[in-house]
Amino acid sequence: MVGVAGGIAAYKSVEVVRLLRESGHRVTVAPTRNALNFVGSATFEAISGEPVVTSLWSNAADVSHVHLGQHADLVLVAPATADLLARAAHGIADDVVTNILLTAHGPVVLSPAMHTETWRHPATQANVATLRDRGIHVLDPAVGRLTGSDSGPGRLPEPAYLADVVADFLDQSITRDMAGMHVVVSIGGTREEWDPVRFLGNRSSGRQGAALARAALVRGAHVTAVVGHVECPVPPVQVRVDVESAVAMHKAMQEVVFAPDARVDAVVMAAAVADFTPSSVSAGKVKKDGSVPELTLTETDDILAGLVASRGHGSGPVLVGFAAETAGDRTSLESLANYKLARKGCDLIVANDVSDGVFGSDTNAALIVSEAGVVDEIPTARKGLVAHRVWDQVLRAPGLGIYDAD
């Protein structure tokens, strides 16, 4: 079920419905009367391929206001207006959407979109708190350009993000068990400049890192993302730092993780960082002039080991590394993961075998190892599910949230 309320972002819900259908879901759309001022029911009907439910009274014999909620695997309302949040928080059931919310058996996800003042208004915030207390998943709006020239928190997140969030909720039960936590995730691949037009890169698409950021956001965490080159949308994290090279990522990670007052609880290094970088960068384009140029490489600094060193002993954030290996079999993958865990000195290693086209794919299979051995083994699954299982292990890590007194 996709409910659509009367906000300017209603046009984006059409794309959400299209993406959900493309991933194989049956989608019934229920727009409020005000939503129909922005998008006509013919558009929703054509895109969803299902009749649109617009009124409590149009098909009373079907009692659709009850059974739509009862039978939906999930109800998403995008955008959710301030008005709809208020009505939902108070149990008002004066239209199809609010009736569906009161009869829903599956997860209910509301994605608010409104002006910053409206979002920050104590009445709206109180309604959000009430809904969250009741187990309704109210996503935080994205920060950015609003209607007109305004910008700030209040944007509807991008449709691809909402479609991924729906898939995550359908895969597993999610709660706000990371509320109050601050986590840092590195996403994507680094690019090492050789000359003004060429670089050494890698195949990382950023999808696993994006899934980790998304999972932490829906579980209520404050997320800082350090983002390299990506081929996927980056979730609407609270803080985003874009970088290109391994050196820049190293610097950014040290700065965001150990900033005074940052109080980071956990760091997941999901980015694929170059191990080697050209020893020198040519100021002009290297020309094809008959001789083949020689490219000499220098080893880059190890970002994860650097975080471990800066953390010191017994305090600071839980540190998680990823190991992309071409192991071939499970035994070799496990021993490579254990070796990397010992070499880096971090708390968890998520090892995946990348010989089989993990880069750019929506799925992954992983082993999570700690000092205690293999703590989770995830057979091929959506990267969203792998992400949630990584956070599950972070929440179990000894030492989470312990800081030095100074």
Ligand X SMILES: Cc1cc2nc3c(=O)[nH]c(=O)nc-3n(C[C@H](O)[C@H](O)[C@H](O)COP(=O)(O)O)c2cc1C
The set of catalytic residues is 202
Residue 77 or 225: which CB sits closer to ligand X? 77
Please provide residue 367's backbone torsions phi and psi, each rounded to the nearest 5 degrees.
-115, 135
Q: Which of 118, 57, 59, 116 is nearest to 85 (CA)?
A: 118
| Number of C-beta neighbours around residue 21 at 10 A | 16
The amino acid sitting at 151 is S
Residue 32 or 204: which CB sits closer to ligand X? 32
Within the chain, how many helices (H) and strands (E) appear?
Answer: 13, 19
Contact 314/402 with Cβ under 8 angstroms?
yes
Q: For residue 270, give the 3-state DSSP assignment.
A: coil
CB of 396 to ligand X, least distance (A): 39
CB of 158 to ligand X, least distance (A): 16
Residue 138 or 213: which CB sits closer to ligand X? 138
What does DSSP assign to residue 60? G
CB of 36 to ligand X, least distance (A): 9
DSSP β-bridge partners for residue 243: none
Residue 236 or 316: which CB sits closer to ligand X? 236
Both tokens of 293, joined, read 């140029």
Residue 68 or 84: which CB sits closer to ligand X? 84
Please provide residue 374's backbone torsions phi and psi, each rounded to the nearest 5 degrees.
-75, 120
- What is the spatial distance between Cα 93 and Cα 38, in angstroms, rounded to a whole number? 22
Q: Which of 199, 261, 274 is nearest to 224 (CA)?
A: 261
Q: Which residue has the tokens 């037009």?
A: 197
Chain contacts with ligand X (rule: CB under 6 A)? 5-9, 32, 34-35, 81-84, 113-114, 118
Both tokens of 287, joined, read 């020309």
- What is the spatial distance between Cα 370 and Cα 367, in angstroms, rounded to a whole number? 10
Residue 10 or 19: which CB sits closer to ligand X? 10
Contact 277/298 with Cβ under 8 angstroms?
yes
Residue 39 or 269: which CB sits closer to ligand X? 39
Using left for φ > 0, alpha for ψ between -120 and 50, and beta otherwise, residue 328 falls in left
CB of 218 to ligand X, least distance (A): 21
Instruction: Give the DSSP letter string of 4-15.
Output: E-SSTTHHHHHH
Query: What is the largest distance, in Å, between two alpha-carbon atoms of the chain?
Result: 81
CB of 240 to ligand X, least distance (A): 23
